[in-house]
Structures are given as C-alpha cells and as structure tokens.
Structure 1
C-alpha cells in the first residue's frame, strides 16, 4: 500500500468516498429502476407487490451484510499491519461463510417466504405477485452473499474504483433487461425478477475476475495452507464481529420492515408512495455511505497501525465532509423533490400521496449522516458490540415512537424513523471517547 495516500491525509477520504458514492448509487439503481419500471404500468398493486417482494428478500439477505462490512474492516486492519497472510485469510473465511449461508437460505426457502409475507401483511393479488417475484429472484441469494464478501475485500484494499466499474456495468445490464422484459416483452413482475437474477450472477463473474490482481492463486494457496486460517482465535474473533453485526443488521432490517408493514396496513396507495419515498431515502443513504466506506477503511488502517492521532483526524474529517454533503442533498430535495418522486408512477393518486409526505426527504439525510459515518468508524475499529448496543437502544425508542405517533398516520411513521436515526448517532458519539481510549491504550486489551 506504499502507493496509497496515508490514512490521515484528507485527500484519502475523497479518494475512497467519491468512488464509493458512485458505486452505491449504481447499486441503488437496481431497486430504483425496479420501482420506476413497474410504475410505468400504472398499477399500484403491482408496484406494491414488487416493493413487498424486494423488501422481504433483501431483508433476508441484508442481515448477512456483515460479510461485506466485517471483511472490509478486518482486511483494512490487516493492510495496516502489513500482514499478507491475514489479508488473504479474510477473503477465504468470508467466502466460505457466504457459501454456507447461501445454501442454508435455499434449503429453508419453503418456510421463510410464507412467514415473511404474513409478517408484511401481504394478501390477495399483491401477495401472489410478490411470491412469484421472490420465487425467481431467490435463486440469486448465494451469488448476492458471495458478492458482498468479495466487494468488502476489494474495498478493504482501497480498490473502490474496480468495484465502481463492475457496479455500473451490471446496473446498466439490469436496467436494460428490466426495460426489455417488462416494457418490451410484457413479462411484468416476472421480468423484473429475471433481470435481477441475471444481473447478480453476472456481477459475481466480474468480481472474480477483479480479484486476480490482488488475490493471485499462489497467495491464496499459501493462506489456505496456513495453520491459523481456521484456528479458534482468528475464527472466534471473526464470529464475534459477525455475530454482533448480524444482530445489529437484524434490528435495522426490522426497523425498515416496519416502514413497509405500516404502509401496507394503510392500503396499497400508501404502500406504493412509501416505496418511492424509501427508495429516495436509500439513494441519499447510499451516497452518504461513501463516507461510511471511507471510515471503515481509513479507521481500520489507523487502528492496525496504532495511530491515534491519525484516527482522530480521520473521524473529524469524514464527519465534516459527510455533513456538508447531507446539506447539499437536502437542498436538492428542497428544490426538486416534486418532479423527481412524481416520475416514479403514472397513477395520479400515488403521485399526490408521495408529494404529501415528501417533506421527510428534507430531514432524513441530515438525521442519518452522523450514524452512517459512525457505523463506518465502529466497523473499521471492530467495535461491533458497542454498535449493537446503540442500535438496540435506538430500536426500542423507535418502537415507542411508533406507538406514540399512531394518531399522526404516515407522518408519524416517518417522524419515528427520523428519530431512530438520530438516537443511533447520539449513542455512538457518547461511546466513542471511551472505546478509542481503550483501543489505543499502551497495554493491548480486548477491544
């Protein structure tokens, strides 16, 4: 990594954050394109079915997003320590775990899908269409999990531009297939599902090719033969990190599912409107997650190198740039949210409903930016237990707010979600000084 900018160099933040933002936007295009394409049919029920199907399937998968986040943090720490064997071991361990989880998900599909549709209050034609969508797209689950592990490893090596190139190519393919299958050939929801299945498989093939410059066969074989690969110490640390991230992501997924469920309870029009609003929120979140990616890598490197001064400068620098970007996003929504969200449906009632609630798009970027950045700091530092604790506290507060604001209807839902984001960030800020003091203590202790 001698060619890379030092972790505490402010330019290093943008070197990682900008390609990561572009990568995340390209990733978001899958969900946004699906909602937009199906919206051109002018069928609120079909749009709601895609929302429920995609939300359920992604909820099953996103809880395993630790395959990306943990791999990024552990790889970055190995880079900071200049430990080549551990760098390769991070890739092998994550890939093996991804394969096992993928096979288990396929084996339990018959149980998880009906239960999930029940939890989301899906019924009638919406339920039938959502089930058809999931039945096709589910076969991409193992590829999605492997992709998460491979992307995490590449980001940990600062190879964000390679990930960006792959995401752009695959999402162009996805959009093209979606338009062809749905608007060209009239396949409807089935066409959206097949477009995603083909795209995820193609992404896996491109990521495997991208690994070759950094994961040469001889280096991988050396790591595979190393006696520490599957030993209790490294594996125990990996499972501790993954367990905490899994539980934390599970809580976050439940919080997001509550947004979908509360929309479904209010009818197909509110469900479709909330699907559009949520896609806009996810677009801003994925843009701001560029700073989370930068924090994962740069904070991981400074901790691997035991550089406390660099760590403090990195956290401050990323927070300032993240808040500035959130202000820009809020300004864009203030000026143009109406035309943007209105383009996602040809149903006048859905469009009018979206515009009734799009004021929340002004609050969400500013409410979420600090928690996104601090997520990256905590992952890079592997402070995953503290991350789980702050998420649990925020989730409890979120549930209480949903109950207290029920009389406000859909406004109460979005108010509760906004407060959920703010409480997460507050908890992380409170814990950071103590965690940093312990991590950088002269005598090495458990983080």
Structure 2
C-alpha cells in the first residue's frame, strides 16, 4: 500500500508539462529521508523490544515500551517543526540543483514539514503493532494513509494544479489522518481492560539505557543508509535534470520492491523477537531460510518485470520521451540492486527482532565505506551513471554478505552450545 502512493505522486508530477516539479520533489525527498528515517529507530527498536516482551509474557513492559517511544517521537517531531527553517537551509544548501528545481523542492518541503509530529508518532504505533504481531491493524493504517494520500494528490495536483506544494500537503494531511485512526484503534483495543501502569517505570534507568544504546546503533545504521541514497541522488542531480529524474524513477521501483520485501522483513522481525523472548532459538534458522528465499524471489521478479517491459511500466510514471530513453540504458542495474538488496532487507529485520543493533551498525558502515564510497568517487570523477549504479549494487552486495556471515556465525555458535 505504501509505495502505491509514492508511485502515484511520481505519476501525477511526471505527467505535468514542467518536469522541474518531479525533480524538485525527488530532491526534497532526500532532505526528508534525513529528517524522518534518521529517526526510523523509533519504529525498529519498538518492534524488536515489544516482540521480546510479548514472548516473555510481560504485557506491562510492552505497553511501557510503546509509551517511552511515543513520548520521544512526539518531542522529536515538535522539534523538527520548530527548527524547520534552519533545517531547510542546511538541507538544500548541500544538494546540487538548478534554481527552478530547488524552488520546487522547497515548496514541497514547506508543506510537508508540518506533518513531522504525526509521522514520527506513527512510526511508534506501527512498530508497537508489529511487535504484537497485529499486522491486520498495520494494514488498516497503511490503507488509510495511502488511500488519503492518493485522493488528495489527485485533487491538489491534477485538479487544483498545486504541483509540488499539493504533493506535500497531501502527504502531511494523510499522516495526521493515519495518526487519528491509529490512536482510535489503540483506544478501542484497550477499552475496558485493566491497564495499571506504574509511571515511575517509564523512566527506569536500566530500561532507558537499553533503549538508548539500541537506538544509538540503529540511528548510526540508518543515517549511513540515508546518506548513501542521498549521495546517489545528489550525484544524479549533478549529472543533469534528465539523469536525476530517470534515476529517481528507477529508485521508485527499488522502493516499490523494498516495501514488498519489507512485508517479509517485518514478519521476520516480529517472529525473531518472539522466538528469542520464548527461548525458541532453534526456530530462528528455519525462519531465515524461509524468509530469505521468499525475499529473493520477490526482488528478482520485480527486477525482471521492469527489465522485460520497460515501456508499459515506466510509461505509467512519466511521458517525457527523453527520460524514458535515458532510463532504459540503466534498467538492468535493478537486478543486482534488488537481488542483493532483498537479502539485506530481510536480514535487517532478523537482527532488529533480536535487537542486535551493533551488528546492523557495523555491517552498514562496512558496506558504505568499502562498497559504495570508492566506486561513487569514480562515478563522480568520470561523470558516469553506470559507475554510480555499480556503487549502489556493491553497497547492497556487501550488506547482504556481511549480514549473512553474522547470521551464519550466530547459528553455528547456537549449534555448538
């Protein structure tokens, strides 16, 4: 459900007469990736910690985890709104774009930034529900968010011709609607149940230490991931408006596939945390093998579909002939990016469920410094988009290989013990 809204954003903007709106939104998305997904630990750590608490039968602790993260998310979201002007100035100063593209991107930013508190609290709600294996609730919230986003996009972009501003308003409004529905679901589930919580436990020093250490590692991991995609987009922008737009559309395909793979990764995350909480360590190996096979199948099928049928599929996203002609030269790179990426995304979920944040941090840093950066430098020096896609492919490959090695070593230690 989530990427459908993103794809329709691209489709609505990609069919406007002026392509700068799509390019500007692609650029502004880099800024929001930093602002939002740097705090992705709010969702990730909530899921793993909650699943383990449920596995141990500690219902009160699971509720406390949700409250701790929810309060933290609200404070961070309000801080982002307060600091929106300096954040915008710093973010766009670091990105390369023409004045027209930058102006369109800042218009999108100015509208979307007001959704920050709702977005971050929604991270926690989704994480908490996933930790409790209530994926049906997650589906409801996602459907509300995506459905509202698509409807508002169509009204604001197509009918009112608000372009990038309309896309920002639509996304922010849909986040607040999702928040209201999410809080309503939580209230309904808890209505009539005796939920006595010792407020002092919210600030328990040992629990807060676990949360802060885990969140620190996930934050570093996520910041490195976002930085990789930000550099990829920024180098694409330096190559010109057409390469930027073409790469943005190809990355929408990667994002689309990643969300499907994340469905498997989220299930892996919930089950891994549950199995660890219950002490059922023998189930973890089978979990990874099944989830890994399914993830690889999804990633490869997506790549093959877009490689085999570029005209009908990409033609739904833009009708600019120059962009379509350009991106066809690079569509084959989807195969290694999604092939290796599918394994990496699934293993991310596995280690998040085990709350092994340091493994995720180290793997990500190795992939960035050894896989992505050296080849990206060559791409920048050569001004070559193929080298840029090679750098992203190697980045995904190193993530998949290093996490697989960590899983194998952990499984081997379990067998020995």
Within a 5 Å distance, the mapping from 1:46-65 to structure 2 comes to: 46-65=21-40
Contact (CA 8 Å) 1:65, 1:246: kept in 2 or not?
A: yes
Measured after TM superposition, the shift of residue 435 of structure 1 is: 4.1
Alpha carbon RMSD of aligned pairs, Å?
1.9
Aligned match for 1:201, one of 161, 171, 176: 176
Tell whether the 8 Å contact from 1:342 to 1:355 is kept in structure 2 after alignment.
no
- Measure how far apart 1:29 and its partner are: 2.3
**TM-score normalised over the length of structure 1:** 0.89
Which residue of the other structure, out of 77, 81, 87, is the alignment partner of 1:112? 87
Q: Is the contact between residue 71 and residue 149 of structure 1 (CA under 8 Å) also seen in structure 2? A: yes
Residue 59 of structure 1 contacts residue 253 of structure 1 at CA under 8 Å; is this kept in 2?
yes
Displacement of 1:405 in angstroms is: 4.1
Q: Give 1:386's aligned residue.
A: 359
Q: In the alignment, which residue of structure 1 is the partner of 2:144?
A: 169
- The alignment status of 1:93 with 2:68, answered yes or no, reads yes
Of 386, 389, 401, the residue aligned with 1:411 is 386
Q: Distance in 2 between matches of 1:126 and 1:324?
A: 37
Matches within 5 A, 1:283-362: 283-362=256-335
In the alignment, is the contact (CA less than 8 A) between 2:5 and 2:147 conserved in 1? no
Structure 1 residues 405, 131: closer, same or farther in 2, change over 3 A? closer
Runs of 5+ unmatched residues, structure 1:
1-25, 443-447
* Partner of residue 55, structure 2: 80
Shift of 1:245: 0.5
What is the CA–CA distance in structure 1 between the aligned matches of 2:194 and 2:4, rounded to whole Å? 35
Residue 228 of structure 1 aligns to a residue whose secondary structure is: helix
Distance in 1 (CA, whole Å) between partners of 2:307 and 2:177 is: 37
Identify the range of structure 1 (47-56 vs 415-424) with the bigger mean alpha-carbon deviation.
47-56
- Residues 257 and 298, structure 2, Cα contact 8 Å, conserved in 1: no
Is 2:375 aligned against 1:396? Answer: no
Q: Deviations over 1:281-315 (max 9, x none)?
A: 10011111111101110110111011111112212
Name 2:251's counterpart in structure 1.
278
Note the C-alpha offset of 1:226: 4.9
Distance change in 2, residues 1:112/1:250 (3 Å):
same
Question: Where do 5+ consecutive residues of structure 2 fail to align?
Answer: none
- The aligned counterpart of 1:247 is 220
Contact 2:379 2:385 in 1 (8 A): no
Q: Distance in 2 between matches of 1:213 and 1:306?
A: 31
The secondary structure found in structure 2 opposite 1:284 is helix
Q: Distance in 2 between matches of 1:437 and 1:212?
A: 44
Asked if the contact 2:97–2:238 (Cα under 8 Å) also holds between the matched residues in 1, the reply is no
- Structure with greater contact order relative to length (CA < 8 Å, sep ≥ 6): 1
- The residue that corresponds to 1:148 in the other structure is 123
Contact 1:333-1:362 within 8 A present in 2 as well:
no
> Is the counterpart of residue 232 in structure 1 residue 229 in structure 2?
no
Change (3 A) 1:415 1:338: farther
Residue deviations 1:307-335 (CA, integer Å, cap 9, x gap)? 11111221222112222223322332233
> TM-score, normalized by length of structure 2?
0.95
Q: Tell me, what secondary structure is at the counterpart of 1:212?
A: helix
Checking the alignment, whether the CA contact within 8 Å between 1:342 and 1:354 is kept in structure 2 is no
Q: Distance in 2 between matches of 1:405 and 1:136?
A: 34
TM-aligned CA deviation for residue 431 of structure 1: 1.8
In 2, Cα distance between the equivalents of 1:126 and 1:168? Answer: 31
Distance 1:226 1:190 in 2: 42
Structure 1 moving runs of 4+ over 3 Å: 213-220, 433-442
Summarize deviations over 1:193-217 as a string: whole Å, max 9, x none: 1111211110101111121344447
Contact 2:43–2:128 (CA under 8 A) maintained in structure 1: yes
2: CA distance between counterparts of 1:189 and 1:434? 48
Partners of 2:379 and 2:101 in 1: CA distance: 27
- Separation in 2 of the partners of 1:373 and 1:186? 40
Does the 8 Å CA contact 1:46/1:129 hold for their aligned counterparts? Answer: yes
Instruction: Please tell me whether the aligned partners of residues 157 and 163 of structure 2 are also in contact (alpha carbons under 8 angstroms).
Output: yes
CA 1:230–1:249: 2 relative to 1, 3 Å: same
1:102-161 CA distance string (max 9 Å, x none): 122122222111111111113411111211110111000110000000011111111112
Q: Contact (CA 8 Å) 2:336, 2:393: kept in 1 or not?
A: yes
SS of residue in 1 equivalent to 2:81 = helix
